Structure 1
Amino acid sequence: MNSFHHSVCIADPSWRAGQLGHLGAEAHYDLMTDDDIKAMGPAIEAHMSPDSVCFLWVTNATIKTGHDVLEAWGYKYSGTITWIKARMGLGQPLRNMTEHVLLGIKGRPPKPAFRGQGTWFFAPVQEHSHKPEEFYDIVDRLYPDGDRLELFARRPRHGYHVWGNEIASDVDLDGFPVPDSPSTRAVK
C-alpha cells in the first residue's frame, strides 16, 4: 500500500469516553482508549505532509481529549466546526444535539481556497456514526487540492485514501493493523 504525504486528514476515532452501554458505539465497533488513539500519532505522521491540516471529530464528552489527541498527533488546535443535529440525543442533564470537528494545523498548511466558512452547519442525522455529506463538502471547499486521508473511514469517497475496519483500506498505519469490526469477527 502506498505512503502518500497527505495535506488533509479527517479522523473519526472510535472513542471509548462517554459511551452508554448498548446504546453507544460499542454495539457497532470496537472502541479505543484515549491513549491508543494518541499513540497513533507517529503512524499518522508518516502519511502526512509536514504542512497539513487535521479535522478531528469529537463528541461533547471527548472535546478535551480531542485537543490532547491533536497535540499527540503533532497538530496545533486552530478552530472548531459544530454539526447541529435536528434531533434529541443522549445525555444528562443536557441532551446532546451537536458533534464537533476540531481543526488542527501543522507547519504551514495550504491556505484555504474558501475564506467564508462558518463554524457551524445543520445536517440530518443518518445511521450510527455516519458523518454528514455536508461536512465533506466543507473540507473539499476549503482544501480542494492535494492528497486526502480519512482515518476510521466507513465508506469510500472520491479523492480520499482510507483506513478503517468498515472499508477496504488502501493505507497501512505502521503498528496499527485495521481492527476487526464486530461484523467482521462474526464472519471469521
Structure 2
Amino acid sequence: MALALPQLPTVQRLLAAEASARRQAWEAYDADALEQEISKYKAALSDVLDELQRLGAGVDDDDVGEAADAEGQEGIEGVDWRYGSVDELDAREWQVPPHCIPIHANVTTYDWSQLIAATQFDVIMMDPPWQLATANPTRGVALGYSQLTDQHIAQLPIPRLQRNGLLFVWVINAKYQFCLDLFDHWGYELVDEVVWVKMTVNRRLAKSHGFYLQHAKEVCLVARKGQDPPGMQGGVGSDVIYSERRGQSQKPEEIYQLIEKLVPNGKYLEIFGRKNNLRDFWVTVGNEVTGQGAPREDQRAIDGGLRIPNAVYGRAG
C-alpha cells in the first residue's frame, strides 16, 4: 500500500524541496526560526508514523530501540556513526559558533605559512583519516582525502605551528606505532593518552568490529614539545571519557572541555576538522568545515573528473 502523501502536505513539501534550497533556508534562520523548523520536521515525521500505523505497517518502539543499539554498526575501526532520532536534534549544533575561526581548506594543499606567521598554538588536536592497506580510509573518502598516506600526514608542518605545547592525535590500533615514530620525527615526547569509551543512547557499550576483539573505545595520544604551555593546570580531569557517539567522526565534547581546563585561555588548533567540530576560541582547518563540501577549487577539479591541483597522491604507507 502506498503512503497517502497528499494527506501529509508538510512531508510532501519537504520531499519536493531541493536539498540546496533547504540548506540555504536553514542557514538564514536565527535560533528561534530554526527551532520552529525542527518542530515542523518532528510533526511531519509523527504524521508519517501515524499513516504507517493506519496502513498496518507500524514499527514497534522496542524494535527501533534494539536496532539503534545493535552492536557492530560502525564496521570499520575509526568510523563513528549510529542511527539517530529527530528528538536528538539540537538547534545549537546547526549554528556556527560565533567565536570560532573555521578555515575551509584541504590540509594537504593549504598554505600554512600565514597561520604560522600569525601565531603559535598551545594545543593542537587532529583526527587524521588514516589509510588502511586492507580497507577504505577511516573517513578519507567523505573528506576528500581518499589517497592520503602516512607520509603525507608526516609532512604536515606541526613542528612549525608549535614551539612549545601539547599535541593530541586520535589514533587507531594499526597506526599506534607509526604515531609514536611520528612524535619522534616531529620532536615530541609521549606524555599521556585519553581513552574515549563509546556509549549508546541507552548507556551500553557501542561496539564495533575489530580483528581480534570488538572495539568500544578510541584512543587519543598526548605528546609534548618543549615546555608546558603557559598557564597549564595539571590533574584537572580524567584520562577516560564516557560519552555517547555523536555525528560521523565527531569526537566527544568532553575532549574539548578537558583541553580547555588543562590549558585555560590557550590558543587551540584542530586539523582535519568538520563543521560539527567547530568550537568557540578554536581555529579549525578542514575541507568540510562549512558542511557544504570541498573548497571551491577542489570541487571544480572533482566535477571535471580531475585530480585536486597540488594534492598528494600515492600508495598507502
Which TM bucket (shorter chain)?
0.7 to 0.9
Q: Determine helix, strand or coil for the equivalent of 1:80.
A: strand
Helix, strand or coil at the partner of 2:244: coil
Distance in 2 between the 1:90 and 1:16 partners?
A: 17
8 Å CA contact 2:273, 2:285 repeated in 1: yes
Using the TM superposition, give the Cα deviation of residue 21 of structure 1 relative to its aligned residue in structure 2, in angstroms: 4.1
Q: Is the Cα contact below 8 Å between 2:236 and 2:261 reproduced in 1?
A: no
Task: Select 2:247's aligned residue among 115, 118, 127.
Answer: 127
DSSP 3-state at the match of 1:146: coil
Deviation at 1:91, TM superposition (A): 1.3
Hey, what's the Cα distance between the residues in 2 that align with 1:56 and 1:102? 5
CA distance in 2, matches of 1:163, 1:62: 22
Partner of 2:212: 93
1:152-171 to structure 2, matched below 5 A, reads: 152-155=272-275, 156-167=278-289
Provide the rounded CA distance (Å) in 1 between the counterparts of 2:186 and 2:260. Answer: 22
Q: What is the rounded CA distance, in whole Å, between the counterparts of 1:180 and 1:84 in structure 2?
A: 35
Aligned partners of 1:57 and 1:102 also within 8 Å = yes
Q: Which of 112, 120, 129 pairs up with 2:232?
A: 112
Q: Which residue of 2 aligns with 1:44?
A: 158
Query: Greater helix percent: which structure?
Result: 2
Task: Give the secondary structure class of the aligned counterpart of 1:94.
Answer: coil
Report the Cα offset of residue 187 of structure 1.
Answer: 9.7
Separation of aligned partners in 2, 1:130 and 1:18: 23
Secondary structure at the residue paired with 1:84? strand
Give 1 or 2: higher strand fraction: 1
Compared with structure 1, are the counterparts of its residues 77 and 180 closer, same or farther at alpha carbon in structure 2 (3 Å cutoff)? Answer: farther
Distance 1:123 1:45 in 2: 31
Contiguous gaps of at least 5 residues in structure 1: 169-176
**Aligned residue among 37, 60, 85 for 2:173:** 60
The aligned length equals 174
Check the 8 A contact 2:130/2:140 in 1, yes or no.
no
Distance 1:70 1:186, change over 3 A: farther
Contact kept in structure 1, 2:183 and 2:190, CA below 8 Å:
yes
* Percent identity over paired residues: 26
Letter of the 1:5 counterpart: Q
Secondary structure of 2:177 counterpart: helix
The 10-residue stretch of structure 1 (101-110 or 115-124) with the greater mean CA deviation from structure 2: 115-124
Offset, 1:166: 0.9
Q: What residue identity is the alignment partner of 2:249?
A: S
What are the residue-to-residue correspondences of 1:12-51 with 2, within 5 Å? 12-17=127-132, 20-21=135-136, 24-29=138-143, 30-31=145-146, 32-40=148-156, 43-48=157-162, 50-51=163-164
How far, CA to CA, are the matches of 2:285 and 2:198 in structure 1? 26
Cα contact 1:19–1:25 (8 A) shared by 2 = no
Q: Could you tell me how far apart the structure 2 residues matched to 1:19 and 1:85 are?
A: 24
Distance 2:208 2:304 in 1: 32
Q: CA deviation at 1:145?
A: 2.1
Q: Supply the distance in 1 between the matched residues of 2:134 and 2:123 (Cα, whole angstroms).
A: 28
The 3 A distance-change label for structure 1 pair 34 and 21 is: closer
Query: Shift of the alpha carbon at 1:80?
Result: 0.8
What's the counterpart of residue 171 of structure 1?
A: none
**CA distance, structure 2, for counterparts of residue 13 and residue 60 of structure 1:** 13
Asked if 1 retains the 8 angstrom alpha-carbon contact of 2:166 and 2:223, the reply is yes
Contact residue 60 and residue 98 of structure 1 kept, 8 A: no
Structure 2 counterpart SS, 1:28 = helix
Secondary structure, aligned partner of 1:79 = strand
CA gap 1:115/1:88 in 2 versus in 1, 3 angstroms? same
CA distance in 2, matches of 1:73, 1:180: 28
Over 3 Å counting, the alpha-carbon distance change for 1:45 and 1:124 in structure 2 is same
